C-alpha cells in the first residue's frame, strides 16, 4: 500500500523555501511569487479534492496565499513552510466546507456542478478521438467525486494527501496535527468506504 512519493519542494533546485520566506519578509516580493509557483499546483489539488469545485478552489487558493503572505512575519519556522501552508489551506477549506454545509445542508450530489470540475488533463489518452472513452472517463470522474464527497472532510483529506498527492503518513500527520496512527486508521476507513461505493469500477 504505497503511494508515489512526492519530494518536498525544498529538495528541488534553487533556494530553499525557508530562504524564500526570509527574502519575502525582507521585502523581496519576487521571492513570494516563487513560493506561489512552487505550491500552487499542490495546494490547488488539496483544495479542489476537498471542495470538488473549480471556482471555489480558485477563490480559496487566493485566500490561502494572501493569508500566508500576511502571516509570514509571524511564521517562526517551528514547522517547515511546506507543512505550514498546507495547514492553512486545509483549515481554510474546512471552514469553507462547514459554511457550505450550514448554508446548503449536506451538499446534494445532484447539485454537484459538473461545469465547475476541471476537465481531465490526459496527456496520453485523447478523449476527442474516442467519444465512448470520453464518456466513460467523465462518468468515472463524477463517480469518484461523488464517492469522495460522501467521506467526512478528515477522511477526504487523508485520501487526498496520501493517494492523490503521494505524501507520507508522517508528513500528513504533521500537516493535520494528529498521530501517524490516526492517519493510518482514517486512511483504512476511507479506503473501505470508497471500495464499497466504487466496487463496480474495480477489477476483482
Partner 1 sequence: MSQKEDFSELQKLLRLKRLETPGQEYFNRFVDAFHTYQRREILQEEPWYAKVVEVLFEPWVAGVPRLATVAASAACLVAGVAFFLGPIQSGTAQLADGKVSHPRGIVVAAAQTNASLELQPELIETAAGGEEIQDRPLYVNGHNALAYDSRLTF
Contact residues: partner 1, CB under 8 A: 1, 3-4, 33, 36-37, 40-41, 44-45, 48-49, 54, 58, 61-62, 65-66, 69, 99, 102-103, 117-122, 140-141, 144, 148, 159, 163-164, 188, 191, 194-195, 198, 201-203
Closer by beta carbon to partner 1, 58 or else 83: 58
Closest approach of partner 1 to the CB of residue 80, in Å: 22
Shortest Cβ distance from residue 97 to partner 1 (Å)? 13
C-alpha angle 199-202-203 in degrees, rounded to nearest 5? 130
Could you tell me if 194 and 147 are in contact, meaning their C-beta atoms sit under 8 angstroms apart? yes
Distance CA 201, CA 144 (A): 10
16: left (phi over 0), alpha (psi -120 to 50) or beta: beta
Min. distance of Cβ 162 from partner 1 in angstroms?
Answer: 9
The CA distance from 109 to 85, in Å, is 30
Is residue 134 within 8 Å of 39, Cβ to Cβ? no
Residue 6 or 77 with smaller CB distance to partner 1? 6
Check: CB of residue 78 under 8 Å from CB of residue 71.
no
Q: Using the minimum distance from each CB to partner 1, give the nearer residue, 1 or 76.
A: 1
16 vs 197, beta carbon nearer partner 1: 197
How near is the Cβ of 55 to partner 1 at its closest, in Å? 11
Distance in Å, CB of 163 to partner 1, minimum: 4
| Integer Cα distance of 176 and 168 in angstroms | 12
- Of the pair 67, 87, the CB lying nearest partner 1 is at 67
Amino acid at each position: 500500500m504505497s503511494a508515489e512519493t512526492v519530494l518536498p519542494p525544498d529538495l528541488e533546485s534553487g533556494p530553499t523555501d525557508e530562504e524564500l520566506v526570509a527574502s519575502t519578509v525582507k521585502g523581496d516580493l519576487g521571492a513570494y511569487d516563487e513560493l506561489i509557483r512552487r505550491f500552487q499546483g499542490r495546494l490547488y489539488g488539496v483544495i479542489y479534492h476537498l471542495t470538488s469545485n473549480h471556482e471555489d478552489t480558485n477563490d480559496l487558493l487566493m485566500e490561502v496565499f494572501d493569508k500566508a503572505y500576511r502571516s509570514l512575519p509571524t511564521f517562526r519556522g517551528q514547522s517547515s513552510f511546506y507543512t505550514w501552508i498546507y495547514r492553512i489551506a486545509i483549515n481554510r477549506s474546512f471552514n469553507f466546507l462547514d459554511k457550505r454545509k450550514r448554508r446548503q445542508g449536506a451538499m446534494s450530489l445532484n447539485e454537484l456542478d459538473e461545469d465547475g470540475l476541471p476537465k481531465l488533463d490526459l496527456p496520453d489518452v485523447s478523449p476527442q478521438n474516442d467519444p465512448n472513452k470520453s464518456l466513460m472517463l467523465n462518468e468515472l470522474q463524477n463517480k469518484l467525486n461523488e464517492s469522495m464527497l460522501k467521506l467526512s472532510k478528515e477522511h477526504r483529506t487523508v485520501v487526498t494527501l496520501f493517494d492523490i498527492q503521494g505524501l507520507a503518513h508522517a508528513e500528513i500527520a504533521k500537516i493535520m496535527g494528529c498521530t501517524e496512527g490516526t492517519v493510518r486508521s482514517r486512511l483504512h476507513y476511507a479506503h473501505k468506504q470508497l471500495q464499497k461505493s466504487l466496487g463496480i469500477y474495480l477489477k476483482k
